[in-house]
Structure 1
Amino acid sequence: MASTHPAGPTPPSESFGVYDRLHATAEFAELRHRYRGFAFPATVAFISWYALYIVMSMWAHDFMSQKVVGNINVALVFGLLQFLTTFVLAWLYARYSAAKLDPLARTLDEQYQREA
């Protein structure tokens, strides 16, 4: 019997059922657990670090205005470290994702493609 749907992607209404089945799997729960295991602590750490920078800038003026080298003071070093922290977190996430998230996500995608 011929398919009633044209070739191409599965219509959205049908793919919801597949997604619901995949969402209920242990693999999907593990993927969410692994993602949250990295994202939440990293977010809390970065926001705390940034808040420390703001608090120190507001209420520890004497400390933050101390010269480190030439006209470079502690506040400027803290500010530049914010950029470094952003890049380091992005790099760590990319490594973590490639090692822990992507293989599991590929497995789930293959299941989705088979069922859709």
Structure 2
Amino acid sequence: MKSSNGRPSGDGGGPESPVEKHEGRDAAPTAMGAAGHMRHDDPWYDALASGWGELDGTGAPAPVVPPARREDGASRAAQVYLEVQRSAAFQEVRSRYRRFVIPGIVAAFSWYLGYVVAAQTAPGLMARPVAGAVNVAMLAGLGQFLTTFVLTWAYARHARLHRDRAALDLRWDTQELTRGLRGGES
């Protein structure tokens, strides 16, 4: 039996390896041919099974990647998305997002930077005991974790209350507009 590239397939019936059975070639996995082209002697290599190197009907090798088709529907869909992006509803969702995220990032980064700077510039303050073996640095470090959890909770709450419904409406409208371009297909 031969594979799609014309090489014999091993049937497992003999002591010799598949490389030795392969048309008497040497056991090297790849070698340079006489014309300087790479030759694959690996018995598991099957280039034609993946569609590479096949002839296109004219005797020339077919291109590896078929040329992309530009459909009118794709450009119309792009126009729909641009139209939605320019809409007042989309701009409002983005504005609400930015009004929460930018101050949140600035506050969290400032708090973190303050913690790192205080640890480096005021080691006496950070080493001051608060209760037993717990000092200011430990409380500030735990405060970093607490800040992360509080900011995550606040972001999820803000998204749920102020953006999710409007974003879902925009998504629904966009899908309806693009579905209309395809002629109502599901």
1:29 aligns to what SS in structure 2?
Answer: helix
Hey, what does 1:64 align to over in structure 2? Answer: 126
Q: Distance in 1 between matches of 2:139 and 2:118?
A: 12
TM-score, length-scaled by structure 2:
0.55
Query: How many pairs are equivalent?
Result: 106
CA distance in 2, matches of 1:54, 1:99: 34
1:27 aligns with 2:89: yes
Q: CA deviation at 1:113?
A: 1.0
Structure 1 unaligned runs (5+)? 1-10
CA distance in 1, matches of 2:112, 2:149: 14
Question: Any gaps of 5 or more consecutive residues in structure 2?
Answer: 1-72, 179-186
1:17 to 79, 87, 102: 79
Indicate whether 1:94 and 2:156 are aligned.
yes
Aligned to 2:14: none
Identity %: 42
- Partners of 2:109 and 2:102 lie apart in 1 by 11
**Structure number having the greater helix percentage:** 1
CA-CA distance at 1:110 after TM superposition:
1.0
Of structures 1 and 2, the one with the larger relative CO (CA 8 A, separation 6+) is 1
RMSD of aligned Cα (Å): 1.2
The whole-number CA distance in structure 2 between the counterparts of 1:105 and 1:56 is 41
CA-to-aligned-CA distance 1:47-94 (integer Å, 9 cap, x gap)? 000000001000011100001111111001000000000000000011
Q: Distance in 2 between matches of 1:15 and 1:93?
A: 32
Aligned-partner Cα distance in 2 for 1:95–1:77: 26
2:168 to 74, 96, 106: 106
The separation in 2 between residues aligned to 1:12 and 1:43, in whole angstroms, is 37
Query: Could you tell me the TM-score, scaled by structure 1's length?
Result: 0.87
